[in-house]
Structure 1
Amino acid sequence: MKKWLLPMFMMVVLVLAACGNKEDNSKKDEGSIEASSAETITYQSETGPIEVPTHPKRVVVLSSFVGDLLQLGVNVVGVDAWAADNPNFQEDIKNAMVVENTDIEKIIELEPDLIIGLNGIENADKLAEIAPTVLFTYGKVDYLQQFIEIGKVVNKEKEATEWVEDFKARAAEVGTKIKEKIGEDATVTVAEMFNKQLYVYGDNWGRGTEILYQEMGLKMPEKVKEDALKPGYFAISQEVLGEYAGDYVIFSMFKDQGSSVTNAAWFKDLEAVKNGHLFEVNANAFYFNDPKTLEYQLNFFKEKFLQ
């Protein structure tokens, strides 16, 4: 190459290199934009699309859904009082603060990046100013789909769906074994004593009802079906529980209620009690229908019915 061509050749090389660097930098800029946009995802909520963190790190749960988040390994920093009393959760939420939807200042102090609760709560607009707030209507979807919806919110739909499929299979298997032992026509009643008021439950109001009736296909007494199936629960007087009690009774009580109930004449007169077919449960542990509670309920039924 002639000497006079060298400077021109070097200039072309430098220009091409500069163009290449500009293109690389442009690609890097595009990559950072993608990374930035990947910090959030869009969840199609009941009220419309909401931008939520791709990987939420500090979630406040104002009702019902603490166990769903814990099952998915999501850090919960604020919980409702009912969740705080659930022994299935206590180890995982020992550092969480108990809050209500009216505790705006407390919730701000928790610095949540996501808030989850039930529709219709007071201060929903103020909560949405603190962090993306997703609210659900209880019963709008079934209890397992609800878990999948929570999974979508926290970008863990795959994990939630896999758990649901596995749980349904395990519950059905246990249900088959229970029916083989107690008979296809045996009936089961779910009852609860709360504040001196007695309730019986349908098939979608927690307390293990979803497992017993939906997944296992166990039978509900006709009287319970007539009064409690549609509304989900039905209040009765203590003395008429015998009219609603099936061959087996799941009787849920809150702490400090035990002896006052189990020593009562109406309780001792139940056929399920006389036959050893009444299973007492801790209402605080049985209250919800999230995966953590469902696992506890399934193990309880497996132990009590098949022992």
Structure 2
Amino acid sequence: MKKLLFILICLLLCIVGCSTEDSNKKNDPENQSSEKVFKDDTDKEVKIPKVPKRIAVLHPTYVGALVKFGHKPVAVPEFVNKNKVLNDATKGIQRIDNTSVEQVTKQKPDLIITTIQDKNIKKLQKVAPTVAFDSEKSTYKDHTKKLASLINEQEKAQQWIKDWDKQMADDKKELTPLIKGKTISVLQQTPKGTMAFSDHLGRGTEILYDGYGMKQPKALEKATQEKFATPINPENFDDYIGDFAVIATNGNQSPDFENRNYWNNLTAVKNKHVIKFDVTETQYNDPLSLEKQRDIFYNALKSKK
């Protein structure tokens, strides 16, 4: 009889304990909510799903990190079709016009990722929680960490950055005899003329400047302090183009300036320190794009040692 009573008391205590634990979980605000607060690059706090399942991304720059960490969006901008790395990584994902609120709405997103320049932000906010990023305010590492936090993959982002920094350090050490103390410029022929780029907005600049420690020519550094690129005239090439030059091409198209004496008389050209880089292959600064760009620039520089 005493043994039976003891067993009943133990069962009762167990039931009471479980009930108390369940009650505490229910009363915990963290467990009650299916949302969390995210601070975007506008310094605005946005309530977003704790576990977003239908993410619409409206700029290619923010696609690669999500895919790298195992979370494919339900919609991406049509621009990815013009970029082999991102196009291949997003096979089967719906392409949309990133300026069309109607097309975004049809995808029934529970989270929208866009840029601070997006003119439809207020309309998008009525469709789903919307976070905005600023590529001129945050670095590629900032973006990688922030995008990972949206999908609860912070550890994967930290590990990627750790591995990436090690790769950059290893490359830099090997390439030091060639690149130490050298300047480099990244150029692209555009409808607005020849543009020279800043040190942190894609086209390999994150690798060449941040990763390998190369520098911009002083005139280019000054001209791009507050903007992502600056137009340069052929007669000023000598001021803006460094010991090395990267030409960002669109496919196999060659820029007109390659036929000018201004170009052919440059030290970088005479030393054969020119690297061609196809932006239709890859150009953005997400993890997937950077890994591809690393292969391109590492091999190109290694071949010039």
Q: Report the TM-score range of the alignment, normalised by the length of the smaller protein.
A: 0.7 to 0.9
Q: Which deviates more from structure 2 when the two are superposed, residues 35-44 or residues 244-253?
A: 35-44
Q: Give the counterpart of 1:176 among 164, 173, 176.
A: 173
Higher Rg: 1
**C-alpha separation in 2, matches of 1:192 and 1:107:** 32
**C-alpha separation in 2, matches of 1:78 and 1:238:** 41
Query: Alpha-carbon deviations, 1:32-67, whole Å to 9, x = none?
Result: 787964643322334433232233222111122111
Matches within 5 A, 1:15-34: none
Q: Give the counterpart of 1:88 among 85, 90, 95.
A: 85
The Cα shift of 1:31 comes to: 5.5
- In the alignment of these two chains, the number of paired residues is 297
**C-alpha separation in 1, matches of 2:163 and 2:255:** 38
**C-alpha separation in 1, matches of 2:160 and 2:101:** 34
8 A contact 1:203–1:229 mirrored in 2: no
Query: Alpha-carbon deviations, 1:222-246, whole Å to 9, x = none?
Result: 2322323443321012343243221
The Cα shift of 1:144 comes to: 0.8
Sequence identity percentage: 25
Match of residue 156 from structure 1: 153
* Counterparts in 2 of 1:137 and 1:266: CA distance versus 1, 3 Å: same
Task: Give structure 2 stretches of 5+ with no counterpart.
Answer: 2-6
Residue 249, structure 1, aligned to residue 240, structure 2: no
- Give TM-score, length-normalised by structure 2: 0.83
Residue 42, structure 1, aligned to residue 37, structure 2: yes
**C-alpha separation in 2, matches of 1:222 and 1:31:** 59
Task: Give structure 1 stretches of 5+ with no counterpart.
Answer: 2-12
Specify the code of the residue in structure 2 equivalent to 1:279: I
Q: Which deviates more from structure 2 when the two are superposed, residues 59-68 or residues 46-55?
A: 46-55
**C-alpha separation in 2, matches of 1:172 and 1:105:** 46
SS at match of 2:84: coil
The Cα shift of 1:174 comes to: 0.9
**C-alpha separation in 2, matches of 1:128 and 1:37:** 23
The Cα shift of 1:259 comes to: 6.5
The Cα shift of 1:83 comes to: 3.1
Query: Alpha-carbon deviations, 1:160-213, whole Å to 9, x = none?
Result: 122112212211221222222x15232211111122611112212222222212
The Cα shift of 1:155 comes to: 1.3
Matches within 5 A, 1:271-282: 271-282=267-278
Match of residue 137 from structure 1: 134
8 A contact 2:258–2:264 mirrored in 1: yes
Q: Give the counterpart of 2:63 among 54, 66, 72.
A: 66
**C-alpha separation in 2, matches of 1:232 and 1:104:** 27
The Cα shift of 1:304 comes to: 0.8
8 A contact 2:184–2:243 mirrored in 1: yes
* Counterparts in 2 of 1:257 and 1:26: CA distance versus 1, 3 Å: same
Residue 304, structure 1, aligned to residue 300, structure 2: yes
SS at match of 1:91: helix
Matches within 5 A, 1:102-251: 102-180=99-177, 182-195=178-191, 197-251=193-247
**C-alpha separation in 1, matches of 2:165 and 2:13:** 59
Residue 97, structure 1, aligned to residue 94, structure 2: yes
Specify the code of the residue in structure 1 equivalent to 2:160: W
- Give TM-score, length-normalised by structure 1: 0.82
Over 6 Å off, 4+ runs: 16-23, 32-36
